[in-house]
Structure 1
Amino acid sequence: MGLKIYLDGKFVDEEEAKVSVFDHGFLYGDGVFEGIRAYHNSVFRLKDHVDRLYDSAKAVNMEIPVNKEQMSEIILESCRQNDLKDAYIRVVVSRGKGDLGLDPRKCSVPTVVCIASSISIYPEEMYEKGLDVITVPTRRNGPEGVNPRIKSLNYLNNIMAKIEANMAGVPEAILLNQEGYVAECTGDNIFMVKNGILKTPAIHLGLLEGVTRNEVIAIARKEGIDVQETTFTRYDLFVADEVFLTGTAAELIPVVKVDDRVIADGKPGPIFHKLLQQFREIVKEPEALIFK
C-alpha cells in the first residue's frame, strides 16, 4: 500500500496527492518547507520546526491557512495515518494556484502538504568511517538575496552544489559565502573542533539555523565544551582536529577528509562520538507523542 498524504485539509492516497501545474511552488519555487524526524513514537522538536516554518512563511509574506496548533496536529496525524513511530516528515507550504505571472497576489490560498515516510541520507558505514567532502565553486546565497535562513522551495543553490559533489564522487559539498568563509553544506550544517573548542559558522554568514545544529550546541555546552559561533575558512577545516555535519535527516555524521586533506588521523573524533551518543539519548525522550 502507498502512503497517505495530507493535502489541503484531507488525507489522500499518494497517487491522488496532486497539485495544479499553476501552483507557484511548482512554477517558481515560491513556498517554504520543513524536514522533521520522529523517533520512538515521538516527533522530535516539533515546536522548533513548526516555529521555523512559520518564520519562513512570514519572511516571504505568506500566510499559512492553518495555525501552529493545527499544523502540529497535521504532522502527528500524518504519522498515525501511515502507522509510523519512526519517520521522516516533510511539510510543504506553497504559494498556491495562480497564473503564469509572478504576482503572488494572484494565488488566493496556499497549498499545504505533509508527507510522513522514511529517509536514509547516508549509509550506516559512513557514520563509522566518516565522509569525504569537498568545497565547491558555487557560493551560498547571500542574505541580501534569498536569505538562507528562509527554508524555501527554491533550493537550486543547494542543488547546484550537490551536482558538483556528485561530479567529484563525494556525498556532500561545503558552500562558502561570498567572502570565502565556510557557511554550510548542501543539506547540513557544519562543525569543527580545534584544541577542544567546538566551532560552527555564525548565522549571519549565510546559513539555515538548523534545529539539529542548535540541539548539538546545547548538548555541547551542557557537557562543558566551549562552543563558538564564529567565522572560519577552508584552512581551518584542513587543520582541524575533528569535522562533522549535522542535519535533521543526517543527525550527526563525521567528516574525515576535506578537499583531499585528511582531517587529523582520518577517524571520527572523541567529541563527535560524545555528542552523537548524547543526541541519540535525547531523541528517546518523550516529547510530541504520535500514538498515546
Structure 2
Amino acid sequence: MSQQIYINGEYFGRDDAKVSVFDHGLLYGDGVFEGMRIYGGKVFRLREHLKRLWDSAQAIALTIPISMDQMILDVNATVAKNDLENGYIRLVVTRGAGPLGLDPFRCSHPQIIIIADTIKLYPEEFYQDGLELVTASTIRNHPAALSPRIKSLNYLNNIMAKIEGLKAGCVEALMLNHKGEVAECTGDNLFLVRDGVLITPPVDAGILEGITRDVVLELAAQEKIEVREIAITRYDVYVADECFLTGSAAEVIPAVKIDDRTIGDGTPGPITRKLTAAFRKLVGQ
C-alpha cells in the first residue's frame, strides 16, 4: 500500500494529500506541530507530545477540533495504516483557510494533518564519531515576542540559523538567546558534561521543552548522574568535557567540536555513551 496521509479524519495518497493555498498555516506560519518517533510500532511518549501540542495551541488561541483521546486513536491508526515498525510522525494543526490578512478568527476550520514516514536526520558516522557545531549569529526568538516554548509552524528563526551552520560546513548550529546565553541548536536541545556533572540550559533560557530532553534527564537520574539546569555561555561549551544533542528526530547524538574548538578529547565521552545506550535500551533499539 502507498503512503497514507491523514487529513481531518480521511486518508489520502501522498500525491493527493492537499490543503488550501489560503490556509493560514501556509500563508503566515499560523499553527502548531509535533514530531514523534515510532519504535516497535508504537509512538514514543505520545501523551507527552500531545500535551505539548495542546499547550502550544492554547498559547496561540488555536482550538484543536478533536479531543486528545481521539487524536491518540487517529495517530495510532495512521501508524498502523502505513505499517510502520520504526519511523517518524509529523502531526500538524493549522489555523485553517481564511481570507488574506492576519485576522485568525476569520479562518474557517483548523486542519489536522498526520504524516507517518521514515526519517534519518544525520549520517550514521555522526552518531559514532560526533558532529561539529558552529555558533549562529541568528539568536533564538525573544520570549516576549514569540515564546520558544511554543512549537509553532513559524520556524524561520531556526532555518536562518540552520543556513548559517550549513554554509559553515556544519549540519547543526548553536543558537544563543537575547541575553547572549546558550539556548539550544536549530532543532535539538543541548547538554554538556563537566567534571562528571550533566549541564543543560533551563527552560527560561529560551528553549523548547524537549520530550527527548526530559527522557535524558530521567535516565540521568536513574544512572545517578548529577544534573544542573543552569544558564551557560559559549565559554562553558568550549571548556566542556563532553557535549551531546537531543531531539525526537535526532535522538541522542554527540558533538565533538564547536567554532573550531575541540570538545574534550574530540570523541564521544563516557557519560554521552552511557546515556545513549540507556536511551536506545529504553526505546528498544
Give the TM-score category using the shorter length.
over 0.9
Map 1:1-292 → 2, pairs under 5 A: 2-284=2-284
Given residue 19 of structure 1, which amino acid in structure 2 is its aligned partner? V
Letter of the 1:138 counterpart: T
Per-residue CA deviation, residues 64-104 of structure 1 (Å, 9 max, x unaligned), is 01110111111111111111111100000000000101100
Name the CA distance, whole Å, in 2 between partners of 1:87 and 1:94: 23
Partner Cα separation in structure 1 for residue 42 and residue 24 of structure 2: 33
Partner-residue secondary structure (3-state), 1:5: strand
- Report Cα offsets for 1:21-40 as digits up to 9, x if no partner: 10000000000000000101
- Secondary structure class of the residue paired with 1:109: coil
Q: CA RMSD in A?
A: 0.9
Question: Residue type matched to 1:47 in 2?
Answer: R
Long gaps (5+) in structure 1: 286-292
> How far is the alpha carbon of 1:2 from its aligned partner?
3.5
Shift in Å, 1:160: 0.1
Amino acid at match of 1:229: E
State the one-letter code of the partner of 2:63.
Answer: E
Amino acid at match of 2:105: R
1:284 Cα deviation from its structure 2 partner: 2.4
State the TM-score, normalizing by the size of structure 1.
Answer: 0.96
Higher relative contact order (CA 8 A, sep 6+): 1
Measured in 2, the distance between the counterparts of 1:71 and 1:151 equals: 17
**1:117 Cα offset (Å):** 0.2
Alignment size in residue pairs: 285
In the aligned structure 2, how far is the partner of 1:76 from the partner of 1:85? Answer: 12
CA deviations on 1:16-55 (whole Å, 9 max, x unpaired) are 1101010000000000000000101221101100111111
Amino acid at match of 1:82: N
How far apart are 1:256 and its partner, in Å? 0.4
CA distance in 1, matches of 2:137, 2:84: 40
Offset of 1:278 from its aligned partner?
A: 0.6
Tell me if structure 1 keeps the 8 A contact 2:132–2:171. yes
CA distance in 1, matches of 2:266, 2:129: 9
SS, match of residue 235 in structure 1: helix
Map of 1:290 onto structure 2: none
Measure the CA separation in 2 of the matches of 1:204 and 1:74: 33
- The percentage of aligned residue pairs carrying the same residue is 55
Secondary structure in 2 matching 1:151: coil
Name the aligned partner's letter for residue 250 of structure 1.
A
Q: Secondary structure of the residue that 1:126 maps to in structure 2?
A: helix
SS in 2 for 1:252: strand
The one-character-per-residue Cα deviations of 1:191-214 (angstroms, maximum 9, x if unpaired) are 000001100000001010000000
On the 8 A contact 2:95/2:104 being kept in 1, the answer is: yes
Q: Report the TM-score when normalising by structure 2.
A: 0.99
Whole-angstrom CA distance in 1 between matches of 2:190 and 2:248: 13
Q: Is the 8 A contact 2:41 2:79 kept in 1?
A: no
Moved over 6 A (4+): none
State the secondary structure of the residue aligned to 2:237: helix
Cα deviation for residue 108 of structure 1 reads: 2.2
**Cα distance, 1:219 vs structure 2:** 0.4
Alignment deviations for residues 170-224 of structure 1 (CA, whole Å, 9 cap, x no partner): 1100000011100000000000000011000000010100000000001001111
